[in-house]
């Protein structure tokens, strides 16, 4: 057991004003009581990090509670998001729009105090955390965005971008592999305005971490090239504050401050034990904690002197006002840059965007080239990035394969200013979560690339992007068996279908250069969620498009070749590299009196958003249907009809691939025009 909790007592608040201990205890009690009221939550971490929070939030953090969106605010990330009550207490106490009623409603339906912090739900929460380690990677992305934005916009004497990113991490965050990916890159890039504060309490859910986590964390971070401040007493506000002050002076490296703490500090019966981690302390222990801390106030009541000392509104308003004055000077001197800064931080696209899109689509229509869609994607990037300096590209060490670079790509390096292309290294999960941090920071539209099969490595970050409704763009190439000889390990069979299950993620699998151009346009224009672009390694023939190609494709599903003549009818739905097979099958059965309509469905989500009239006009009721996609078949029955209906067929792949050239594999797995034609004949026969 550490030194007695009784030393935390500081009576007579009203007489002497609130002390740091009072501030820390106000967090402890709020966290304890909110968890108690909800009968659910994690009191241990807020109670253990209370002094650290006092040091950072009252002495160092630059923020304005009245305007959580002020662009030059410091970013604060609670990567150990299970301690959400710490953040809610801080936001409430410092003056954000988070009244006590919300703390009382912790973890209840539609409260602004959800189980784990969620951005866009609670003012002042910069990112959604809870999946351990990802908040840390988001913070790396925020620090990266800050640095690149500063390099782009600041001028001598005009530092309009000058803020820090602070991130609290626990043992869990540092055990997670993603912490290695993100912190390794942060060290290499020298993101000096990133400060991690480690809650080194030696406890995680299963108990004392000495049984499963014995890394020498300070040396680990030294090896990454971080500035390490080790051995800080996390319950000494002054000591923590000194460490933070020293981190603020660091110019070349990110900093980690390792603070020794006691989980559940203040609870006489549970502090220092995993019991304090994730359950209400219980009525009796809560009373004992009140007593030990000398806290005489009822639940959810904070004495005014404590509020007064926490209140950051006036300091925050001063800070923002000072910045606004600096920005006004900047705008007078550099009006165009100031307007551009305002546009970018608002997330608005430039005037030239629609023109770039329609010119690109027109050019691809005119060329009608037979090229790989990954190549068409690069051409789209080339066209859009010229008009959109906010596009921040990158890939996980596959740039030459996924074609995420363009002629204007400038690598982001430790000492080279204002790059726009991040070589993320072989760190897919870190890459996706860093990109999310970049998107959350603002000023950039991040896009990142790897092989589709490795989207699994990034999976939870993709989910988080969708949950947060942020504009991260994922370029996934080498889809399905078309990648050929690399074999089943690299052939994404189930990935496209499984990405379609992520609510809020738009998944585009374009069939040619024109659809790829439109998919990129839609991804960039989309402000409320991420987009995955699923692209081929191999060349694909240009599909026939009408003059209204851009508008039709944007609907996600549209008619490429319609019924011709009378007779029996079938609709064949295809995506990506399988569209030409559908067209060839259409020709094959035409002489047999079967009229086939081919529907290209590059984005089922966009199609599903269309009104019923459009959907019915594309997929008429009562007509036999076939879907063709070289991947898991299950999802397509939604569009063709029940799996047990003979008038519905899906040609897909429901097993792993093989190592062979792509052409051989397509035949081997039944992706031939003849096989599609057979399916058409079958469903048409069944219908009549
Ligand atoms: C990726 C992920 N895996 C598992 C969990 C479940 N979980 C929540 S907290 C926690 C233990 C974390 O330990 P630590 O960071 O030391 O937190 P402390 O108990 O010290 O507050 C676990 C396993 C999670 N939130 N995220
Ligand atoms: Mg811990």
Residues with CB under 5 A from ligand 2 (ion): 170-171, 201, 203-204
Across the chain, what does the average pLDDT equal?
Answer: 96
Q: State the distance from the centre of ligand 1 to the C-alpha of 273, rounded, in angstroms.
A: 14
539-540 and 506-508: which strand pairing? unpaired
Partner residues linked to 540 by β-bridges: 371
Give the helix, strand, coil percentages of the chain, each rounded to 5: 50, 15, 40
Residue bearing tokens 């990405």 = 499
Kindly state the average pLDDT of the residues 283-304.
98
pLDDT given at position 356: 98
| 76 contact partners, CB below 8 Å, separation of at least 6 | 56, 61, 63, 87, 124, 126, 165, 166, 167
Distance CA 38, CA 31 (A): 11
pLDDT given at position 3: 46
**Nearest atom (ligand 1) to Cα of 172:** 15
Per-residue pLDDT tens for 637-658?
Answer: 999 998 778 889 999 999 999 9
Examine the pLDDT at 2 and tell me if it is beyond 60.
no
Distance CA 441, CA 470 (A): 10
CB 420 within 8 A of CB 408: yes
Distance CA 10, CA 26 (A): 12
Question: Residue 48's closest CA among 245, 200, 243?
Answer: 200
Q: Is 428 a catalytic residue?
A: yes
**Nearest atom (ligand 1) to Cα of 201:** 20
Distance CA 117, CA 79 (A): 9
Per-residue pLDDT tens for 579-624?
Answer: 999 999 999 999 999 999 999 999 999 999 999 999 999 999 999 9
558-561 and 594-600: which strand pairing? antiparallel
Residue to probe by mutation, ligand 1, list 136, 200, 204, most atoms within 8 Å of CB: 204
**How far lies 665's CA from each of 408, 481, 660, 672, in Å?**
37, 7, 6, 10
pLDDT given at position 6: 46
Query: DSSP readout, 478-515?
Result: SBGGGGGGG-TTT-BSSHHHHHTTSTT-EEE--SSHHH
Per-residue pLDDT tens for 52-94?
Answer: 999 999 999 999 999 999 999 999 999 999 999 999 999 999 9
Which ligand lies nearest the alpha carbon of 136? 1
Per-residue pLDDT tens for 529-554?
Answer: 999 999 999 999 999 999 999 999 99
Q: Which is catalytic among the residues 51, 146, 428, 629?
A: 428
Residue to probe by mutation, ligand 1, list 42, 169, 205, most atoms within 8 Å of CB: 205
Distance CA 139, CA 194 (A): 7
pLDDT given at position 569: 96
Q: State the distance from the centre of ligand 1 to the C-alpha of 128, rounded, in angstroms.
A: 15
Residue 132 is classified by DSSP as: T
**pLDDT-based confidence at residue 659 (cuts at 50, 70, 90):** very high
Which ligand lies nearest the alpha carbon of 42? 1
Which run of H or of E encompasses 533? strand 531-534
Examine the pLDDT at 478 and tell me if it is beyond 90.
yes
Distance CA 655, CA 632 (A): 8
Closest residue by Cα to atom 9, ligand 1, is: 82
Model confidence, pTM: 0.97
Per-residue pLDDT tens for 236-289?
Answer: 999 999 999 999 999 999 999 999 999 999 999 999 999 999 999 999 999 999
Examine the pLDDT at 11 and tell me if it is beyond 70.
no
Residue to probe by mutation, ligand 1, list 82, 137, 259, 429, most atoms within 8 Å of CB: 82
| 57 contact partners, CB below 8 Å, separation of at least 6 | 90, 94, 310, 312
Which residues contact ligand 1 via a Cβ below 6 A? 44-45, 80, 82, 130-132, 170-173, 176, 199, 201, 203-205, 263, 277
Q: What's the full length of the chain, in residues? A: 688
Q: State the distance from the centre of ligand 2 to the C-alpha of 172, rounded, in angstroms.
A: 7
pLDDT given at position 9: 56
**Nearest atom (ligand 1) to Cα of 199:** 20
Q: State the distance from the centre of ligand 1 to the C-alpha of 51, rounded, in angstroms.
A: 21
Tokens representing residue 676 in the block = 């599609």
Per-residue pLDDT tens for 566-581?
Answer: 889 999 999 999 999 9
pLDDT given at position 193: 98
Distance CA 185, CA 397 (A): 13
pLDDT given at position 7: 52
pLDDT given at position 687: 84
75-78 and 165-169: which strand pairing? parallel
Rama region for 389: left / alpha / beta (φ>0; ψ in -120 to 50; rest):
alpha
Distance CA 553, CA 557 (A): 7
């Amino acid at each position: 057991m550490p030194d007695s909790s009784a030393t935390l007592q500081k009576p007579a608040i009203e007489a002497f004003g609130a002390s740091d201990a009072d501030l820390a205890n106000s967090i402890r009690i709020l966290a304890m009581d909110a968890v108690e009221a909800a009968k659910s939550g994690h009191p241990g971490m807020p109670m253990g990090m209370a002094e650290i929070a006092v040091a950072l939030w009252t002495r160092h953090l630059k923020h304005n509670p009245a305007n959580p969106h002020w662009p030059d605010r410091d970013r604060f990330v609670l990567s150990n998001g299970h301690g959400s009550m710490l953040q809610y207490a801080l936001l409430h106490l410092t003056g954000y729009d988070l009244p006590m009623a919300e703390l009382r409603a912790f973890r209840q339906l539609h409260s602004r105090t959800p189980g784990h912090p969620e951005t866009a739900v609670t003012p002042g929460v910069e990112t959604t955390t809870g999946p351990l380690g990802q908040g840390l990677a988001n913070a790396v992305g925020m620090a990266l965005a800050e640095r690149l934005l500063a390099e782009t916009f600041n001028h001598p004497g005009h530092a309009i971008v000058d803020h820090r990113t602070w991130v609290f991490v626990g043992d869990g965050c540092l055990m997670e592999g993603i912490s290695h990916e993100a912190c390794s890159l942060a060290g290499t890039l020298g993101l000096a305005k990133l400060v991690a504060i480690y809650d080194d309490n030696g406890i995680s859910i299963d108990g004392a971490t000495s049984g499963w986590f014995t890394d020498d964390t300070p040396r680990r971070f030294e090896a990454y090239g971080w500035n390490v401040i080790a051995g800080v007493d996390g319950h000494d506000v002054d000591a923590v504050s000194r460490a933070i002050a020293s981190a603020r002076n660091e110019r070349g490296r990110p900093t980690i401050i390792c603070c020794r703490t006691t989980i559940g500090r203040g609870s006489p019966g549970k502090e220092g034990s995993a019991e304090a981690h994730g359950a209400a302390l219980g009525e009796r222990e809560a009373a004992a904690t009140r007593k030990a801390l000398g806290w005489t106030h009822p639940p959810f009541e904070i004495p005014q002197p404590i509020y007064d000392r926490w209140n950051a509104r006036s300091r925050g308003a001063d800070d923002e006002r000072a910045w606004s004055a600096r920005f006004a000077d900047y705008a007078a001197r550099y009006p165009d840059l100031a307007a551009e800064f305002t546009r970018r931080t608002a997330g608005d696209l430039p005037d030239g965007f629609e023109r770039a899109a329609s010119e690109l689509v027109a050019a691809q229509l005119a060329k009608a080239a037979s090229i790989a869609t990954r190549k068409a994607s690069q051409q789209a990037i080339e066209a859009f990035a010229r008009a959109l300096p906010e596009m921040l590209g990158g890939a996980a060490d596959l740039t030459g394969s996924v074609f995420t670079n363009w002629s204007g790509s400038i690598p982001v390096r430790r000492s080279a200013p204002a790059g726009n292309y991040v070589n993320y290294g072989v760190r897919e999960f870190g890459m996706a979560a860093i990109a999310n941090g970049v998107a959350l920071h603002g000023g950039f539209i991040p896009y990142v690339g790897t092989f589709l099969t490795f989207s699994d490595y990034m999976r939870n970050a993709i989910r988080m992007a969708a949950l947060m409704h942020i504009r991260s763009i994922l370029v996934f190439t080498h889809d399905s068996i078309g990648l050929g000889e690399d074999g089943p390990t690299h052939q994404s069979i189930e990935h496209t279908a499984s990405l379609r299950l992520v609510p809020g993620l738009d998944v585009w699998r374009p069939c040619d250069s024109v659809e790829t151009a439109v998919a990129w346009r839609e991804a960039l224009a989309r402000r409320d969620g991420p987009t995955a672009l699923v692209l081929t390694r191999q060349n694909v023939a240009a599909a026939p498009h009408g003059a209204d190609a851009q508008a039709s494709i944007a609907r996600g599903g549209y008619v490429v070749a319609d019924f011709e003549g009378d007779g029996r009818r079938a609709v064949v739905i295809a995506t990506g590299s399988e569209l030409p097979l559908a067209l060839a099958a259409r020709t094959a059965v035409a002489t047999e009196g079967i009229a086939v309509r081919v529907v290209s469905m590059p984005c089922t989500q966009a199609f599903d958003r269309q009104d019923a009239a459009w959907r019915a006009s594309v997929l008429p009721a009562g007509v036999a249907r076939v879907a063709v996609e070289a991947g898991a078949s299950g999802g397509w029955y939604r569009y063709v009809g029940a799996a047990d209906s003979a008038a519905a067929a899906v040609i897909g792949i429901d097993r792993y691939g093989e190592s062979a050239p792509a052409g051989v594999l397509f035949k081997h797995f039944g992706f031939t025009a003849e096989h599609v034609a057979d399916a058409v004949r079958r469903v048409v026969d069944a219908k009549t």
